[in-house]
Structure 1
Amino acid sequence: MRITAEISLYPLREEFLSPIQSFIRDLQESSALEITVNQMSTQLVGELHDVSQALEKALEMSFRTGGSQVLVAKFLNADLPLDVAPDLGSGV
């Protein structure tokens, strides 16, 4: 089953950028995922097992090395095209 996940990592410290960069680099080690990074979040698309495995590995490393953090995640059981805006209709 292919899924789409949207994740945001929030290190609870003043120097927050380095743990985020390391976390994303760890995710990018998985060639099985389509990864889109933007200013607000990171989206992952792939097989459920591959997404789960990459997240577990990257999150464990981040938690071990990056201090206190919050990870916010949303999972959808569909393979969304991340480069296509949704049709919001004419009323929007």
Structure 2
Amino acid sequence: MKVSVDISMYPLIDDYCQPIIDFIDRFEQNPAVNVQRNSLSTHIYGDYSDVMGALNSEILAVIEQVPQTVFVIKLVGKDREKAVINACE
């Protein structure tokens, strides 16, 4: 089953940018998932078990290093990677 995840990461520390960049970079090195960056969040696409496995290991790595990090995660059970949404039409 394919899924799509929208994730935002908020390290509650002064130097918050580098942990976010490192987090996204590690996802981009995973060949089992597709990643799209944008200015507000990161989108991760792929097979449910691949995406959830990557989320599990990468979130654990972050909270071990910066425990005062907040994650906001939205997950949909469908591949939305190439979807175009025109809510106003």
- TM-score, normalised to structure 2, is 0.91
Does the CA contact (< 8 Å) of 2:5 and 2:74 recur in 1? yes
- What is the DSSP-based 3-state SS (H/G/I as helix, E as strand, rest coil) of the residue aligned with 2:43? strand
Aligned-pair distance for 1:22? Answer: 1.1
**Map of 2:42 onto structure 1:** 42
Q: Distance in 2 between matches of 1:42 and 1:20?
A: 10
Q: Which runs of 4+ in 1 moved over 6 A?
A: none
Aligned-pair distance for 1:89? Answer: 4.2
- What is the DSSP-based 3-state SS (H/G/I as helix, E as strand, rest coil) of the residue aligned with 1:14? coil
**Per-residue CA distance 1:47-89 (angstroms, 9 max, x = gap):** 000000111111111111124100000000000134x531234
Cα RMSD (Å): 1.4
- Partner amino acid for 1:45? Y
Aligned length: 89
Larger Rg: 1
Aligned-pair distance for 1:14? Answer: 1.4
- TM-score, normalised to structure 1, is 0.88
Residue 40 and residue 89 in structure 1: after superposition, are their counterparts in 2 closer, same or farther (change >3 A)?
closer
- Partner amino acid for 2:48? L
